[in-house]
Amino acid sequence: MIDPRALAEAGLAIFENRLILDARPPVTDDELTEVAARCGGPVPAGLAALWRTSFGGGLDYDLTVTLGAAEQALSLRELFYPGSDGYHDLWGWIEEDGPPGYLPFGGFEYLERVYAHLPTGEIYAWQQGLPPGWELAEGDRAGAIAADVPALFAQLTLEQDPWETDDPDHGIDLRDVLDELPPALRDPLRGLVRSAVLDWHGALDAGTIAGSPRLRRLALDRGATDVAVLSRLAAQGCDLGEPARGGMTALDIALAGSAHDAARWLLGRDVPVTHALRFGASGIDADLAAELLRRGARADSHALSAVVENPDPEVITLIGRAAGPISASLALRVRMLIAQAEIAAERGDTGAQRRAEALRVLAGRE
């Protein structure tokens, strides 16, 4: 049993078995009334329950949701409250951002937000898209992600144990705060945090991973560069071509990490190659480039933008021939690379002249 007083003194709160950092005092009835007045409707029960636990604070968990056609990582770092020193406080977000009938209550700076639908309590998310070429799904995304706030908190997980990983994606703040607490409070809270860790290794060892989509996709993501892990996943009936992270497949992830042995192993299992050149064109050799093109990999503008960084002129030529015209902005970049290659050639780099020639041909496709 965790002492509620000691928890509050440490600036912590627990809601739906998830730990809130920098926890605020519970919301008052007057504050709930003011929120309702500013939003045009009563605060849904699930959100009110969260606020009666902590009216604002911080979270440090992984959150993966489906927005559009693919799973996306969503940042839910801050729970908004009046007077916060974040990008906006709760009142600021309601005034600037809240569409009619939706109450913004958390997110990450100006990039991502979650909303409660006032009539139903259903949770929606909005995510700003990254610049073209940074991800498969371009543009802003929005959609429903949970039935209510408790269901949203049930989706907060940790993909890595923060006490067993030097640099986990999430959980560092949780670890650092808990490690400063006295053992009587630290130990049960550490157990609570660890209960949210997704144990895909355990599911793989138990032979049950094929039946767990979240663990299966996490294993494809984390194990994409490891042929031994991929072999075990295949043996248990997992689809190695399944999208694993933001629409990326294990092949895309392997190529992005320059794990070319794993990429070739995956090609031997006939996985889809649609976006492979986008993630691999900058580092693959000519044989692998030719194989990907033969299998139908797209030589699109993103692949062209990547291949100009490849040191092998043969790869530049192969992908350049398969692609369409290059944009004016890429042509400018290519001309800069040509100048750099010519300088390197003058200094005795025997391969630089061939690279300059391949880039010059590519620049002529503007």
pLDDT value for 91: 93
CATH number among 2.40.50, 3.40.1350, 3.40.1580, 3.10.620, domain 4-154: 3.40.1580
pLDDT value for 281: 96
pLDDT value for 365: 72
Residue for token digits 């729970």?
79
Residue for token digits 């996490």?
218
CATH 2.60.40.420 fits domain 200-363:
no
Contact 63, 156 (CB under 8 A): yes
Contact 114, 123 (CB under 8 A): yes
pLDDT value for 135: 54
The conformation of residue 209, written as its DSSP 8-state character, comes to G
β-partners of residue 248 are 245
pLDDT value for 105: 96
Residue 334 Cα distances to 131, 293, 330, 341, 356, angstroms: 20, 22, 6, 10, 9
pLDDT value for 295: 97
Query: What is the pLDDT tens value at each position of the chain, 366 positions in all?
Result: 788 899 999 999 999 999 999 999 999 999 999 999 999 889 999 999 999 999 999 999 999 998 876 788 899 999 999 999 888 999 999 988 666 889 999 999 888 999 999 999 999 999 886 555 555 556 678 899 999 999 999 999 999 999 998 888 899 999 999 999 999 999 999 999 999 999 999 999 999 999 999 999 999 999 999 999 999 999 999 999 999 988 899 999 999 999 999 999 999 999 999 999 999 999 999 999 999 999 999 999 999 999 999 999 999 999 999 998 888 999 999 999 999 999 988 888 888 899 999 999 998 875
226-232 long-range contacts, CB within 8 A, separation 24+: 226/262, 227/261, 227/262, 227/265, 229/204, 230/262, 230/265, 230/266, 231/265, 232/204
Contact 334, 348 (CB under 8 A): no
For the chain, give every domain's residue range: 4-154, 200-363
CA angle, corner 80, sides to 79 and 86, nearest 5? 105
Question: Dmax over Cα atoms in the chain, in whole Å?
Answer: 76
pLDDT value for 87: 85
The conformation of residue 55, written as its DSSP 8-state character, comes to S
pLDDT value for 136: 58
| Number of residues written out for the chain | 366
pLDDT value for 122: 98
Query: How many beta carbons lie within 10 A of that of residue 195, not counting itself?
Result: 11
Residue 305 Cα distances to 42, 63, 173, 247, angstroms: 50, 31, 37, 20
- Dihedral angle sign, alpha carbons of residues 81, 82, 88, 93: positive
Q: Where are the alpha helices (DSSP H) in the chain?
A: 4-9, 29-39, 45-53, 90-96, 149-154, 172-179, 183-194, 200-206, 213-222, 227-235, 250-256, 260-267, 276-280, 286-294, 301-307, 313-322, 328-346, 352-363
CA distance 89 to 104: 10
Residue 268 Cα distances to 12, 130, 251, angstroms: 50, 32, 11
Model confidence, pTM: 0.86
73 phi and psi angles, rounded to 5 deg: -75, 130
Query: How many beta carbons lie within 10 A of that of residue 156, not counting itself?
Result: 20
